[in-house]
Chains A and B, each alone.
Chain A
Amino acid sequence: MAACMSENGANGKLEFFLKVPFPTEREANIALQSLSPDPEPRKGGISKSLCVSGQTLSVSWAADEARILRVSVSSFLDHLSLVMETMDAFGPPVSQ
């Protein structure tokens, strides 16, 4: 995984970017579809967007406070880990 942090980006927000490579494009899309439906539990102060390009899942965050950002990134990593474990245990995906 590759990640970078930028302070006081556009709009004066804290930003965080994460890129997660998957073995196949299909698996990257499965992860995207599993992780994107739920909005952030917290109203305001944090936003997150996910997209897939090829075999890479990209996630970007923008937050008002470092604490909020840390909680959201940490939670996302837990969920990402669970998706990966699920794919390991019950994959590979059936052919479409």
Chain B
Amino acid sequence: MTIVIGFEGSANKIGIGIIKDGEVLSNPRRTYITPPGQGFLPGETAKHHRSVILTVLQEALDEAGLKAADIDCVAYTKGPGMGAPLVTVAIVARTVAQLWGKPLLGVNHCIGHIEMGRLITNAQNPTVLYVSGGNTQVIAYSERRYRIFGETIDIAVGNCLDRFARVIKISNDPSPGYNIEQMAKKGNKYIELPYTVKGMDVSFSGILSYIEDAAHKMLSTDQCTPEDLCFSLQETVFAMLVEITERAMAHCGSQEVLIVGGVGCNLRLQEMMGVMCKERGARIFATDESFCIDNGAMIAQAGWEMFRSGHVTELPDSWITQRYRTDEVEVTWRD
């Protein structure tokens, strides 16, 4: 029996989760929400996380019905992410690891998503589409690495969606991506946008600039509604994601797709991916917002796998890093 507590706070969500042998015992989380039209900045986000992290930690222990002594390992997000929030969370993880006399383990954020996705959905060897505000990657496991077959060459798809939400002043509560999704359901008119797939890679910065310009022009002359633009943006960027995922599946002979990351919550993306999988005779896996969105349990789960296969992070090596590539981690817990 192994119990791992995981600390996650690489972006605007702060969460602490506890995993015991594949079971999520607790997973409380808070989100730092900024006013419409604004993104979250690192300093302010870190301040928010500092103000709530010890409360969330106590909640995690209480909900799991555990004492500190019951924990076997303390896992935290080593990276990638925003610098100041990552440091804030790492400092608490280091401190409690020492107070409780437990080993410490630095986890890659992307691998946290993948391992939680695998645990919850039971996908065996899927092609993984990892899509969020900070990351857009198509990943497949091979020879002890989560290999990046395709990715964004500029901004993440979630970043594109979030920035567009700022342009049209959509609420950031519960998340701008969710609010775009709801508005898109009411859209009728498809506005043609740049389609920028580049082999296995994608680019979103041009689409964002184009639709920002279109928003200013078309909304001021009533040529379309904000709902139409939300609909059109989703159709375009999600079709691009489906294409690169399908290309990776074809190259690898994969029969499974797993969507992870915050944008993976989007039901339209899941639907479009589902159609492609059905046509290929493949299976699609996705989690709900409990685990799609950044959370502490995903770090605990990846930490659980890593700890049991021998990974430990010594305190002097426990620095955070804003850039931590998915394929840098040796995956000793898989064949």
- When distances are taken between beta carbons in the complex, the residues of chain A under 8 Å from B124 are none
On whether the beta carbons of A90 and B96 are closer than 8 Å, the reply is yes
Q: How far is the CA of A55 from the CA of B206 in the complex (A)?
A: 56
In the bound assembly, the distance between CA atoms of A86 and B95 in angstroms comes to 7
CB contacts under 8 Å to A, within B303-335, are 315-320
Q: Of B92, B99, B317, which one neighbours A37 at CB under 8 angstroms?
A: B317
Query: Is B68 a contact partner of A90 (Cβ separation < 8 A)?
Result: yes
How distant is A38 from chain B, measured CB to nearest CB, in Å?
5
B101 in contact (CB, < 8 A)? yes
For chain A, the bracket of interface size reads: 20 to 34
Question: Mask for B216-258, Cβ within 8 A of A = 1, else 0?
Answer: 0000000000000000000000000000000000000000000
Please name all residues of chain B whose beta carbon is closer than 8 Å to the beta carbon of A93 when the two chains form the complex: 98-99, 101
Known: A33-B315, A38-B319. A78 touches B99 (CB 8 A): no
A79 and B88 form a contact (CB under 8 A): yes
- Residues of A contacting B317 with CB < 8 Å? 37
The answer to whether B315 and A90 touch across the interface, beta carbons within 8 angstroms, is: no
The docked-state distance in angstroms from the alpha carbon of A87 to that of B87 is 17
Q: Complex Cα distance A90/B74, Å? A: 14
Q: How far is the CB of B28 from chain A (nearest CB, A)?
A: 15
In the complex, the answer to whether B99 meets A92 with C-beta atoms within 8 Å is yes
Count B interface residues, CB 8 Å: 29
Tell whether, in the assembled complex, residue A90 and residue B99 are in contact, meaning their CB atoms are under 8 Å apart: yes
Interface readout for A21-65 with B: 1 if CB under 8 Å, 0 if not? 000000000110111111101000000000000000000000000
- Give the tally of cross-chain contacts (CB within 8 A): 72
Chain B nearest CB from A32 CB (Å) reads 10
CA distance A45 to B84 in the complex (A): 19
* B:33-75 near A, CB below 8 Å: 46-47, 50, 53-54, 57-58, 68-69
Known: A37-B318, A38-B87, A90-B68. A82 touches B98 (CB 8 A): no
By beta carbon, the residue of chain B nearest A91 is: B99
CA–CA, A35 to B318, complex, Å? 10
Could you tell me if B319 and A87 are in contact, using CB atoms closer than 8 angstroms?
Answer: no
Given A37-B317, A38-B320, are A82 and B99 neighbors across the interface (CB < 8 Å)? no
A94 CA to B91 CA in the complex, in Å? 18
A79–B91 touching, CB < 8 Å: yes
Q: Say whether B57 contacts A90, CB under 8 Å.
A: yes
Contact in complex: B318, A94 (CB < 8 Å): no
Listed by A's residue number, 15 A-B pairs whose Cβ atoms lie within 8 Å are A30-B99, A34-B91, A34-B94, A37-B319, A38-B87, A79-B87, A79-B88, A87-B99, A90-B57, A90-B95, A90-B96, A90-B100, A93-B99, A94-B99, A94-B101
| A residues lining the B interface (CB < 8 Å) | 30-31, 33-39, 41, 75, 78-79, 82-83, 85-87, 89-94, 96
